[in-house]
Chains A and B, each alone.
Chain A
Amino acid sequence: MAVRVTEVGTLGRDAAAARGGAWLVRRVTARQPTFVAGLLALALVVASGVLAPAWWTGDPLQMKPAQRLQPPSAVRWFGSDHFGRDVYSRTLYGARISLTVGAAVAVVSLALGTALGLVIGFYRRLDTIMMRVMDGLMAIPAILLALALMAMMRGSVRNVVVALVIPEIPRVIRLVRASVLSLREHTMVEAARALGVGTPRILLRYILPALVAPLVVQATYICASAILFEAYLSFLGAGTPPHIPSWGNMMAEGKTYVQLAFWIILFPGLFLALTVLAINLVGDGLRDLLDVRG
């Protein structure tokens, strides 16, 4: 197990340089088939969202009241909803919202959490108090905290990102702080100190690079859960504004028609599950390839 990880992880870099990129691709595919599958599925979802107009979609907002609740057919692949809007077009455009929210939440919470975690981990006096505060914040279930935050803000994509970032930050801080605590005692930090390197420089040049691998893995998990949470918030009526075709909104509208038009809820949910699954598989694969523990 340990040997396998080293082969692809560290030795792999030099070996790949010598034997070319194609070799590395073959190697990773053989060792981590689920990682490659996840990567391909994710690429497909990104492509369908970004290039939505090119995939034979129509206007996702156009209402055709005469064609309400039509089942899937050769003309309307995923059927139509209660306003006669095309579910296929809406599902593909919906990928844009989910991927934007997922990526934004991952980037913002990692940036803020890492900055705070580095500082808190390095200054012992701050550490004790701040970790008590973090314990308290993490005791509030994330989805409830996000819901409560949304109750105090107007529904917009930006506010959904804010509401999902806040519960995530203490978790990132915890992760960064734990790594800083162990790295702080490392010989390289001691040596840097002896050379007269200042604390900000130690944090940025010595400790931060060692954190990149676990943070990249964490980013995938945050992204996956943010996409799920956006759907939960929209489904409960406290997320993205209803006029935007997000997967959560589509399912929220479709819930009244479960018995009549099951496809309204089926297809956005399938795409959502596929996207989150793909991101989770990529995360698991990266964790093994980059040899990140826990």
Chain B
Amino acid sequence: MLAEVLRRLGATIPVMGVVAIAVFALLHVTPGDPAVIIAGDYATTDDIARIRTRLGLDQPFHAQVAIWLGRIVRGDLGTSIFSGLPVSTLIGQRAATTAWLTLFAMLISVGVGVPIGVLAAWRKGSWLDRGVMMFAVSGFSMPTFWLGFILVYVFAVTAGWLPVQGYQPLAAGLWPFLRHLILPAVTLSVVYMALIARMTRASMLGVLDEDYIRTAFAKGLAPRRVLVRHALKNASLPVVTIIGIGFALLIGGAVVTESVFALPGLGRLTVDAIVRRDYPVIQGVLLVVSGVYVLINLVVDVLYVVLDPRIRY
């Protein structure tokens, strides 16, 4: 098992290599001189020359790729053009906020999405099922930031129960920390919840037709026990897969959600970097976020064995 985990970890190296080269190539796929684009409209020739040297743009392309890959392997993500701080420091400062936001959103969406998916499958064709499916397709169709503003308007502006925006670190106390995260986490969770509910329902429908489910009901087991122990356990593989794959949605949503609620996370860092054309920061965030995505899906792969002992490495 350990050997297999290591082998899979090794298999992520080429994937991350492609990510690194793609993120680097971004700078060169667009027409024009990257140094001129980064320098912006009001740059002097000296500014452009300085940026060109700093980013190594005066070297041949293959040399630039080699230098870039070499730096990443050493954990050096470069320096922000705007603030002059190392990109890894900037990401480190912001990562905790985004991590908390996505963690809470994930807990809410799994905690609600899986149960409503199970219930919808159990009562297939009922009003409950239609309601859940309608919620799933609507949740998937709403712009995250718009939902955020609706929630802000209802719960913060009108009712006044929760703060409109802002962030308090955990060090400021548990309640202030949670108060500021409730609305953003709920906002972010809806798309992901819709995806999970839909997948849980579909997967459960496949399992509920099986003979052993009928047997379990026939011998008088409580529905709750049949649904959770017998059905959900066997229906969980696709659900776990979608939780891993859908993580990309969560990251994308986090960028927008942080903008709505003025949370100082990676999303805000990226958006600010884009406005300032701070390219090393954009590249660094892309690289780190993609790495986290690949690792999460690696964990999902390993989870398969825990959930389904028939899969052996």
Task: List residues of chain A with CB under 8 Å of any chain B CB.
Answer: 132-133, 135-137, 139-145, 147-153, 224, 228, 231-232, 235-238, 251, 255, 258-259, 262, 265-266, 269, 272-273, 276-277, 280-281, 284
Contacts and interface: CB of A to CB of B under 8 A. Distances in A.
Interface residues of B, number: 53
B18 A149 contact: no
A237 B157 contact: no
Contact of B282 (A142, A151, A251): A151
Interface of B: 14-19, 21-23, 26-27, 29-30, 34, 37, 137-138, 140-146, 149-150, 152-153, 157, 164, 248-249, 251-252, 255-256, 259-260, 270-271, 273-275, 277, 279, 282-283, 285-286, 289-290, 293-294
Contacts of B141: 224, 228, 273, 276-277, 280
A228 B18 CA distance: 27
A162 to B, nearest CB: 9
The 8 A-B pairs of least Cβ separation, nearest first, read A136-B18, A143-B252, A269-B146, A277-B141, A276-B141, A152-B30, A151-B274, A141-B248
A153 B15 contact: no
A144 B275 contact: no
B253 to A, nearest CB: 8
Given A136-B17, A143-B255, 13 more contacts: A144-B289, A147-B255, A152-B37, A224-B141, A231-B146, A232-B252, A235-B143, A255-B145, A259-B164, A269-B149, A276-B140, A276-B142, A280-B137
Given A136-B15, A237-B275, A141 B137 contact: no
A108 to B, nearest CB: 16
A153 B255 contact: no
5 contacts: A136-B18, A139-B293, A141-B252, A141-B293, A237-B271
Given A152-B34, A235-B256, A265-B149, A139 B137 contact: no
What's the dominant secondary structure at chain A's contact region?
A: helix
B81 to A, nearest CB: 12
A265 B142 CA distance: 13
A150 B274 CA distance: 8
B260 A277 contact: no
B137 A137 contact: no
Contacts of B137: 277, 280-281, 284
